[in-house]
């Protein structure tokens, strides 16, 4: 059930046609944008940052972004996910790394999620303390990819998003 909820939640971030209205950018705090979006009568508050580095550079990665989302209804709180411009290989899960901490994700098409609430909290806590998030992934075609995300502004951006959904 939790996995299905995660897939639904973050699929809505990328599918404007399913939303009641387009996302609204409230502010940008350093490298993170703070957004809200109405979906089926509920409000999704989230932060988003695009990858600052993508490798290998010879590959078309498309837009690669990392999100942390909260629903005003309380259905989810600070759930991290990642979207890429290609489908991930399901048998080789992406890995999110901050410092010496590594958290294994699972993928569904072009999106990657954290499976357990415990690991979600651990990753978000690490994001608040860290300076860089690195995600290592494998494309469905078998290409190893790596992404770097700046964590500059993440703490203030999460506070703003949480306030918008409280």
Per-residue pLDDT at 19: 61
Per-residue pLDDT at 20: 74
Per-residue pLDDT at 21: 85
Helix (H) or strand (E) segment spanning residue 162: helix 154-164
pLDDT tens column, 31-63: 999 999 999 999 999 999 999 999 999 999 999
Domain range for 106 = 2-164
Instruction: Please say whether the beta carbons of 70 and 61 come within 8 A.
Output: no
For residue 65, the domain's CATH number is 2.60.40.1880
How many domains is the chain built from?
1
User: Which two three-digit tokens encode residue 1?
Assistant: 């059930």
Helix (H) or strand (E) segment spanning residue 134: strand 132-138
The sign one gets for the Cα dihedral 8, 137, 124, 3 is positive
Taking the C-alpha atoms of residue 133 and residue 80, their distance in angstroms, rounded to an integer, is 12
Confidence tier at 28 by pLDDT (50, 70, 90): very high
Contacts within 8 Å (CB) and 24+ apart, 141-146: 141/86, 142/89, 143/56, 143/59, 144/56, 145/54, 145/55, 145/56, 145/59, 145/61, 145/84, 146/53, 146/54, 146/55
Mean pLDDT of 75-83: 97
Nearest to 161 by CA among 73, 68, 76: 68
Per-residue pLDDT at 2: 52
Per-residue pLDDT at 54: 98
Higher pLDDT, 107 or 13: 107
Per-residue pLDDT at 16: 46
Taking the C-alpha atoms of residue 124 and residue 143, their distance in angstroms, rounded to an integer, is 27
pLDDT tens column, 92-144: 999 999 999 999 999 999 999 999 999 999 999 999 999 999 999 999 999 99
């Amino acid at each position: 059930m939790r996995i299905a909820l995660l897939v639904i939640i973050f699929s809505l971030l990328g599918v404007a046609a399913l939303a009641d209205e387009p996302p609204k950018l409230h502010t940008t705090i350093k490298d993170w944008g703070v957004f809200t979006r109405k979906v089926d009568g509920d409000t999704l508050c989230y932060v988003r940052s695009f990858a600052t580095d993508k490798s290998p550079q010879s590959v078309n990665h498309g837009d690669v972004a990392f999100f942390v989302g909260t629903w005003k209804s309380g259905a989810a709180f600070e759930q991290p996910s990642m979207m890429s411009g290609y489908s991930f290989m399901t048998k080789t899960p992406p890995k999110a790394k901050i410092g010496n901490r590594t958290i294994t994700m699972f993928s569904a098409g072009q999106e990657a999620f954290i499976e357990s609430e415990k690991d979600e909290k651990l990753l978000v806590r690490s994001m608040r303390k860290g300076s860089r998030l690195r995600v290592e992934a494998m494309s469905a075609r078998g290409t190893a990819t790596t992404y770097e995300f700046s964590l500059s502004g993440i703490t203030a951006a999460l506070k703003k998003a949480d306030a918008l959904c409280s």
